């Protein structure tokens, strides 16, 4: 069996890319696997080490033109970008026709659109669309997906019920919810010290992750707690975004007087090690499609605080494995953080329950075979 995986970017490993690596690692011993991207990078390097055949089809669209759900609008506004993307799609369709895989798997929105268009350009094999975004309503993207979706020979994997509930109707009829899988360490090493309590937010430093809201909540928390009682580290890169947001966050931290206890860090190569060195995971994103880092935090025995929105609501068992606040309620988020910062017993109890929940619902050992089985067996 031959499978082609398509993921537009390769230069930085986000949640979608890490999930794809898990899938390819499980699939490579069972099928002839190919990975198609538009650039070289760590994704290509790690895939090759697994025995995956890799192809790079250049696509000269500036990274800023493909942010989140602005793909279609930016392509239509930029003639050079439109021609570059069209050339990429033509090369992809030609490659798919030549390889004739049993299934082509598109992992992110840039790849979804390319695969849908390839199906219009002569690729006749099965298509699998891994949906990792929550569609706005209404949206041009939703309209395009509904219009271009090759219904007769396609399946959809939604990474959460939050994602599935917002898919266009044409995709929902062909969809199946399979949660992302994360590694659950066989053992965890807890910090010996009790103070300060180390809070962490792990993920891309971009606006939709709500890092500015988290800093505001932490400022309120810190004003209520004794000096030196807690710290906050925001860990992640901003590779597919400009640096203005990151600079704004630095200014926000300085204005709040938090420079000594709230810090921004670059992308972490070993996120599990970062999580195990901390006590509490905090996130302030809105309509997070899944929240891989939150699931990893649970796997490392950390309770999670965040907004009751999107996939975070499915990861956290509110009141048992973490505390959730209504979206946008900074005071409520600060209250949730304060409860867990000041109550070590509650942190331990919720952290233990979080690890059990991760083992039951988010373990890669369980979830990844389900995903690969759906792709290879046509069971979507």
Q: Is a pLDDT exceeding 70 seen at residue 67?
A: no
Average pLDDT over residues 252-260: 96
pLDDT, tens digit (0-9, with 9 covering 90-100), for 101-133: 999 999 999 899 999 999 999 999 999 999 999
Average pLDDT over residues 337-359: 96
pLDDT at residue 70 in the model: 56
pLDDT, tens digit (0-9, with 9 covering 90-100), for 85-97: 899 999 999 999 9
With CA atoms as reference, report the closest residue to 352 among 281, 314, 312, 300: 300
Angle, CA of 244, 246 and 247, to the nearest 5°: 65
Q: Is a pLDDT exceeding 60 seen at residue 207?
A: yes
Dihedral angle at the C-alpha atoms of 108, 112, 114, 115, nearest 10 degrees?
130
pLDDT at residue 380 in the model: 46
Q: Is a pLDDT exceeding 50 seen at residue 204?
A: yes
Range(s) of the chain covered by CATH 3.40.50.2000: 2-181+364-377, 197-361
pLDDT at residue 137 in the model: 81
Write down the CATH number for the domain with range 197-361.
3.40.50.2000
Sign of CA pseudo-dihedral 374, 378, 379, 380: positive
Average pLDDT over residues 152-175: 94
CATH architecture of the domain formed by 2-181+364-377: 3-Layer(aba) Sandwich (3.40)
d(CA 253, CA 255): 6
């Amino acid at each position: 069996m031959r499978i082609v995986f398509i993921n537009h970017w390769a230069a930085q490993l986000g949640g979608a890319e890490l999930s794809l690596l898990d899938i390819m690692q499980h699939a490579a011993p069972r099928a002839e696997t190919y990975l198609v991207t538009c650039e070289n990078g760590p994704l290509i390097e790690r895939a090759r080490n697994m025995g995956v055949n890799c192809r790079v089809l250049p696509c000269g669209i500036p990274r800023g033109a493909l942010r989140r759900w602005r793909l279609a609008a930016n392509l239509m506004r930029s003639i050079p970008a439109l021609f570059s993307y069209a050339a990429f799609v033509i090369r992809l369709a030609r490659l798919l026709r030549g390889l004739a895989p049993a299934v082509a798997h598109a992992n992110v929105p840039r790849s979804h659109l390319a695969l849908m268009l390839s199906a219009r350009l002569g690729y006749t094999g099965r298509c699998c669309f891994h949906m990792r975004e929550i569609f706005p309503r209404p949206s041009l993207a939703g309209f395009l997906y509904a219009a271009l979706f090759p219904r007769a020979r396609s399946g959809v994997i939604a990474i959460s019920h939050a994602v599935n509930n917002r898919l266009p109707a044409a995709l929902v009829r062909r969809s199946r919810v399979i949660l992302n899988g994360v590694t659950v360490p066989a053992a965890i090493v807890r910090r010996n010290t009790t103070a300060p309590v180390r809070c962490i937010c792990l993920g891309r430093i971009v606006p939709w992750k709500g890092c500015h809201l988290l800093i505001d909540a932490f400022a309120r928390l810190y004003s209520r707690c004794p000096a030196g009682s807690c710290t906050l580290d925001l860990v992640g890169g901003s590779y597919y975004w400009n640096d203005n947001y990151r600079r704004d966050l630095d200014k926000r931290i300085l204005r709040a007087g938090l420079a000594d206890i709230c810090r921004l860090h670059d992308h972490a190569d070993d996120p599990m090690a970062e999580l195990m060195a901390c006590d509490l995971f905090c996130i302030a994103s809105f309509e997070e499609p899944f929240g891989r880092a939150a699931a990893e935090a649970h796997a490392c025995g950390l309770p999670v605080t965040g907004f009751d929105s999107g996939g975070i609501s499915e990861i956290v068992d509110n009141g048992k494995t973490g505390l959730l606040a209504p979206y946008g309620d900074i005071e409520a988020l600060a209250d949730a953080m304060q409860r867990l910062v000041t109550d070590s017993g509650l942190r331990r109890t919720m952290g233990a329950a979080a690890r059990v929940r991760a083992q039951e619902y988010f373990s890669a050992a369980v979830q990844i075979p389900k995903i690969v089985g759906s792709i290879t067996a046509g069971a979507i």
